[in-house]
Amino acid sequence: MPLPERFLDELLARTDLVDLVSESVRLTKKGNSWWGCCPFHSEKTPSFHVVPDRQMYKCFGCGKGGGAVNYVMELENLPFKDAVAVLAQRAGMQMPEMGGSPGARERRERILAINKQAARAFHRWLNSPEGAEGLVYLQCRGLSRRTLTNFGLGFAPDGWESLIRELSGQGYDKRDLLEAGLAVSNKDGRIYDRFRNRVMFPIIDVRGEVIGFGGRVMDDSTPKYLNSPDTPVYNKSRNVFALNIAKRSKTGRVILTEGYMDTIALHQAGFDNAVASLGTALTAEHGQLLAKYFKEAIISYDGDGAGVKAAQRAIPILEKAGLKVKVLQMRGAKDPDEFIKAYGREAFAKLLDSSENQVDYRLAQLQKQYNLEDDAQRIAFLQEAAQLVAAIPSAVEREIYGGHAARTAGVTPEAMGLEVNRALKIRVSKAKKQRERRDLAPAAQLQPRSRGLRYENIRSARAEEGLIALLMLDPGAVKKMDGITGADFSSPLLGRAFDGLSRRARDGLSVQLAALTEEFTGEEMDHLAQIAIQPVAAGNTAQAIEDYISVIRGEKLLRAGGPEDELLLAAQKKYQQKKAYMEEKK
């Protein structure tokens, strides 16, 4: 059953999109609009545009666009009605009774409730005779009782159905635990506990909800860590361990570690800004998430080969998300936990303050690959270093880091500067050729970004876009559009949008883009947002509508392949007259 249109209109009227987006994106006002870095893709230069008077957003980088409902759907990975429910709760409105079976939101809430009860059970077991081994292990790792409580650490008993039995008494069955990722099923269909005989780390999101778990063995058995699988509430590529605590840090920077224990040890030592990715390499989504709360990231990975490779992969991801990146170089210890135990908190604090700029770090790692006593290898090092330095946007920084590379290899800064400039010219030339190739295909530029939304008739589609843009800007214009419907359009997508908007305009309902969310896919809404964001000429609206309709009808007759009747000839004649008038006006 669809949501009542009047309810949706009132919800959109109560939801200010700028306020909504500001909860997750730093916005800066420019003129009548607001700009920020897109929450849906990594970027340094803000291309995410919020237009308050139209209550819509558009990213000129990734193409995402829409209204308040789309924003919540994309940000929270929710279906339409669940996103509406989030907005309704935020606006203090009661969702209408829809009937039917429980939806995705109810499933999410049930899994979150199961996870909360599981976390409580694990924590209780840690402090019971069943969890003595786990408690001793964590205490031997130097964790205090207070830390164990603050992070809700726990223990999973060495039994096949300990958690299943525990939660069955609370009304949950095996299938519930299976959906929550707390149980697994073998090939014979038997369902049993996923986590057994492990110390447990609850994974808590920024809202304070338990969304998953990590379990660690207490010996050398494998796998060392076992993590929750992806569920409707948990995705390891989109969540970060301890961010629920670190987001409150006043330092403005985040310390990125490789695992739970390093992060917890840093928090215990007073570094409340430490986090860790969840059993996976750092992703673009991780970078975007961290950029919402911090301006600087310090990578504090292990100093072994795997740690160096992980740091090298993480640097461009964090930089692309807009974070200033530094890398911690530890000597005398393999990880932060070991360093603090050996040298103390103050020594680690000094190490943080002297952490290395990511460019110097990458140059140092590059240097290790070459024998600079050999001229051929020295040249190869300088050429690769020049490529690295040429990618830096700032000319001042290019000169500084080019000088660092020159000193390392024993050449003059001037010689290195020439090499960097040569590499820079090649980069600029490649970018220019790519841009020229795009500019030489104007028809392609008029097509929707998504290949699944191709226009068969670009001339007609441009006129169709014009009608839609005018209708979204002025609902009263629908009175001048009598006699044309979406069936006359060459693009099925634009036809559906026109019919939906014109119907709402005639019924006195909102023609905000967000009002169409339920009827269109995210991809389609992105394209409609692109149409809505285009400037509309403030000339004679009636004449513009008449011209658009003339083009649409004329092109429809041509597509039909029938004889050139009077209507077609009239449409073509009118178009030619209009074209001649515009040429004369120029």
- Give the domain CATH number at 514: 1.10.860.10
pLDDT value, residue 100? 44
CATH number for the domain including 220? 3.90.980.10
Find the helix or strand (DSSP H, E) in which 59 lies.
Answer: strand 56-59
Whether 555 and 457 have beta carbons less than 8 Å apart is answered as yes
- Closest to 260 (Cα-Cα) out of 198, 191, 323: 198
pLDDT value, residue 563? 47
Q: Domain limits at 20?
A: 5-91
Residue holding tokens 């690769």? 384
Taken in order 174, 179, 183, 185, the sign of the CA dihedral is positive
Mean pLDDT for the chain overall:
86
Residues 43-81 pLDDT 10s: 778 899 998 888 889 898 888 888 899 898 888 777 788
Residues 147 and 223 in one domain: yes
Strand partners, 297: 254, 325
Exposure string for 514-551, b = 16+ CB within 10 A, e = fewer:
bbbbbebeeebbbbbbbbbbeeeeeeebeebbebbbbb
Torsion angles phi and psi, residue 170, rounded to 5: -105, 10
CATH number for the domain including 39? 3.90.580.10
Number of domain units in the chain: 5
Q: What is the DSSP letter of 474?
A: -
Give Cα separations from 88 to 2, 83, 96, 345 (angstroms). 15, 9, 10, 46
Q: At 195, is the pLDDT very low, low, confident or very high (cuts 50, 70, 90)?
A: very high
Residues 209-252 pLDDT 10s: 999 999 999 988 889 999 999 998 898 888 899 999 999 898 88
Alpha carbon 309 to its chain's center: 24
One-letter identity of residue 450: S
Cα distance between residue 405 and residue 187, in whole Å: 58
Among 59, 91, 123, identify where a domain stops.
91
Residues 200 and 111 in one domain: yes
Would 96 be classed as within a structural domain?
A: no
Residues 458 and 579 in one domain: yes
Over residues 448-452, the mean pLDDT reads 60
Total residues found in the chain within this entry:
586
Whether the model clears a pTM of 0.85, i.e. scores above it, the answer is: no
Give Cα separations from 241 to 263, 408, 451 (angstroms). 8, 38, 37
Residues 511-525 pLDDT 10s: 888 888 888 888 888
Over residues 265-290, the mean pLDDT reads 90
Alpha carbon 424 to its chain's center: 30
531: which 2 tokens? 């149409």
Cα distance between residue 281 and residue 271, in whole Å: 23
Residues 148 and 28 in one domain: no
Residues 84 and 110 in one domain: no
Residues 88-144 pLDDT 10s: 888 888 888 654 445 666 788 899 999 999 999 999 999 999 999 999 999 999 999
Residues 469 and 573 in one domain: yes
Residues 534-551 pLDDT 10s: 776 656 788 888 888 888
Residues 139-177 pLDDT 10s: 999 999 999 999 999 999 999 999 999 999 999 999 999
Residues 6+ apart with CB under 8 A from 509: 5, 6, 9, 515
